[in-house]
Structure 1
Amino acid sequence: MSKPDVPRDADSPSNQQSVATRGTDRRRQFTRTLLAPLWNRTEHRPRALWRILGAFVLVAVGSQVLPPVLFGNRDLPPSVLGAAQNAFTVIIVLLVAVVWAWNVDRRRLTDYGLDVGPEWIRDAAAGAVIAFLVWGMALGVHLSVGWAHISAVLSPGVAANALPVSQALIAFSVQFLLVGIWEELLFRGIVLTNAAEGLQLRWLSERGAVLAGLGTSSLLFGVVHVDQAASLPALAFWVLMGVVLGSAYVVTDSLAVPIGLHSATNLAFNNVYGLSNVRPETAEIAATVLRPEFTGPARFVAVSGLVNVGAVVLIAVLSIGYVTVQRRGLRMRLSPADSVS
């Protein structure tokens, strides 16, 4: 004969433990829901948006707040001051990259495209050669159609405390090499890589995610250079430059070609061919190998004019051609699926 069921005491130890467990589970679920927009439980790291913003804020503080405090009151030539400030910024960005790679991104530092070796150096040099060649051609166009003429050769500029032209050109070379390193590490290595990973959505293919990451990093690159863009077309010029540099990163999964292109473009544009001399606020200030004076229509000779836009497109074509020859084909080598979690 079976025994009748005995009602369980609500205050019994087992029942109290069950209630406590359910309460703990609810709290855990609430915490997970609250943190879901911030934390990726699968990858055990912050979501891509916060990885990008966090790195960007740290670099902004390190590059925009600290250098003026450290160097702002020093009576240094502009070329030396620029080199010193960017050397400090490179240190900041490298420190951020190391901390971010190991503790936030959960990846190797070389995954940002810094796997430096003989091939890496060769690619960086090729990018520099392409940039110097194309910007020289751009100046040649201006001269050949009468939109510019050379007013001085090996001009030291008129900046206060200016160095002799040879020393100033060396200092500017160092400065723009450093700019190429830290801006490419930030915008392509950290931002583009993380944006491509974060944009891996169900309705977007891996290729689509990389292209969306390329667009995101290029727009951010343009916005950061908005102080050098006097109009919307000028801003578009910087976005286009970001697309070209980012594309070189995407098809090589390396910062070598982008750093070479970026550093040499800055140096060639400003201190070799004097193409930035078209700006009234910078005319005749910095040392330059050639100092042209521009008389042509602004839509052609401006920094974001059609000649320079054509030069950026040609840089893209030659860079892609170089990569195709060196890699025996062209394909998207940056893959968000390769992230280390």
Structure 2
Amino acid sequence: MKNLIYIFTALLIFSFNSADAQIKKVLWEEFTNASCAPCASNNPALKAYMDSKGDSIIGIKYHTNFPGFDPMYNSNPTQVEQRRGGYYSDVNAVPWLKGDGNVFPDIWPFSQANFDQAFNTRKVIVPPMQIVVFDVRGPGDSITSTVQILLTQSLPPGNYKLRVMAVEKFVQYPTPPGNNGESNFPHVFRKGLPDMTGITIPTNVGIYTYYYRYKRESEWVDSNIVTVAFVQNDGATNKEVLNASLTGDLIPVGIGNISTIAPEKYSLNQNYPNPFNPSTSIKFSLPKAGDVKLAVYNSLGKEVATLVNEKLISGEYEVEFSAGNLASGVYFYTIETGDFKETKKMILMK
């Protein structure tokens, strides 16, 4: 199920005039191992902190071959080593956590204070770009990813690389695969696309679109696979990650970016088309910024999809809901923000 926000080119161009539309996502890369005792004792704190920040932190976890056996390393040892020993040559122990490249080269120990410093310092930055990632499941075992970079200001001299990776949001084993007792592993690195080198991006203001197609390996759980994209300055000593994104991230483009007039009131529109198969669009308006949740429920009241769950600026939004994995029937979608709550009905007819 994919959740996409439609952003028209004209709106994107206008949005370059407003820093409010610029959202910084912080990239944390951890090197870990399923047979590492310190990993088992420290990873719960890391997971709890990352979970508390929602999608403000994008995680990638590379499983290494030391100190012991790890099947997630064995599934792609070459690319893991290219990232660990080739690109980040200082990683000689696990767990090892990096924040936005080598801006924070070794976040250790795993403490609230260290996490806060690495996150808060980076989150307040207004990035020079936004990145949007769309995934489409093709016939058979293919995934096609569209990565769009919205460069809002020219970049200073550097060597800027777009890197794209397949990440499994959650890998669960019935029993621990290593000897440290861990059996649940979030943000597992699966594959660099098409490799770990990345591609050089332009430095001038503009909208740049890239396409990737990759195979879903049999050991991956398809519903857990997302595509992560980030831009990193290989020419900087700190290998700074300027911004990052993953499948389903929403880039808000408010009406304020093309007019000084914001929506006068909250609204949730009827989806269109309705009935639908397999996708439909939902529009809503926000007169002011706030935490927004837009979710879909079945006729029994069970939540089946979360389309939006983050802080958005004021504006008008359009989100696509794809229900390819759901059965035909009546569904309800509800928006909650501040004191405003509204529910509408839609019909999936296959």
Asked if these proteins are the same fold (TM beyond 0.5), I'd say: no
- Place the TM-score, normalised by the shorter chain, in its bin: under 0.3
**RCO higher in 1 or 2 (8 Å CA, sep ≥ 6)?**
1
In our comparison, the structure showing a higher alpha carbon Rg is 1
Q: Normalised by the size of structure 1, how large is the TM-score?
A: 0.23
Q: Normalised by the size of structure 2, how large is the TM-score?
A: 0.23
Q: Which structure shows the higher strand fraction?
A: 2
Q: Which structure shows the higher helix fraction?
A: 1
